[in-house]
């Protein structure tokens, strides 16, 4: 499928840029973690499993907000963003969900000139 091939090509280009920047190939979770850190400016030497999950959640909400699935609602007292879900995510299989997320991650990086 051409769309899938194009998505894969664009994903490989993003991975290559991240390898160049960080010195190793990140998986999808690592990329979400990086986006979460970028969006929250959360920097600490020791990150708990819960904080990592929270950062990845912020990333998912952030990248999907570009398509109107989520909207930033507020920042809490600790500076963490909170989102409101505006519409249901498409009910697809795991492979399609991953591609859906990858496509939005690519859009996120494109919009930021990376």
Q: What is the pLDDT of residues 48-107, one digit of tens each?
A: 999 999 999 999 999 999 899 999 999 999 889 999 999 998 878 888 999 999 999 999
pLDDT band at 2 (very low <50, low <70, confident <90, very high): very low
Residue 85 pairs with which residues in a beta bridge? 70
Give the E-state strand segments of 1-114 in sequence order. 70-75, 81-85
3-state helix, strand, coil in the chain (%, to 5): 60, 10, 30
DSSP H or E stretch at residue 74: strand 70-75
Q: What is the pLDDT of residues 9-18, one digit of tens each?
A: 999 999 999 9
pLDDT band at 5 (very low <50, low <70, confident <90, very high): confident
The pair phi, psi for residue 108, each rounded to 5°, is -55, -50
Q: What is the pLDDT of residues 21-53, one digit of tens each?
A: 999 999 999 999 999 999 998 877 888 999 999
What does the pLDDT read at residue 45?
80
CB 97 within 8 A of CB 56: no
pLDDT for 1 beyond 50:
no
Q: Which of 17, 22, 62 is nearest to 39 (CA)?
A: 62
What does the pLDDT read at residue 79?
85
Domain assignments of the chain as residue spans, ordered by start: 26-111
CB 35 within 8 A of CB 112: no
Residue 72 pairs with which residues in a beta bridge? 83
What does the pLDDT read at residue 61?
97
User: Full-prediction pTM beyond 0.95?
Assistant: no
């Amino acid at each position: 499928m051409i769309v899938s091939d194009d998505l894969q090509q664009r994903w490989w280009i993003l991975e290559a840029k991240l390898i160049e920047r960080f010195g190793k190939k990140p998986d999808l979770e690592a990329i979400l973690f990086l986006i979460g850190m970028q969006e929250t400016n959360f920097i600490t030497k020791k990150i708990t499993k819960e904080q990592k999950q929270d950062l990845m959640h912020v990333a998912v909400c952030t990248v999907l907000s570009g398509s109107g699935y989520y909207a930033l609602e507020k920042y809490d007292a600790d500076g963490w963003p909170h989102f409101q879900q505006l519409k249901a995510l498409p009910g697809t299989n795991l492979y399609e969900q991953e591609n859906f997320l990858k496509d939005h991650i690519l859009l996120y990086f494109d919009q930021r000139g990376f």
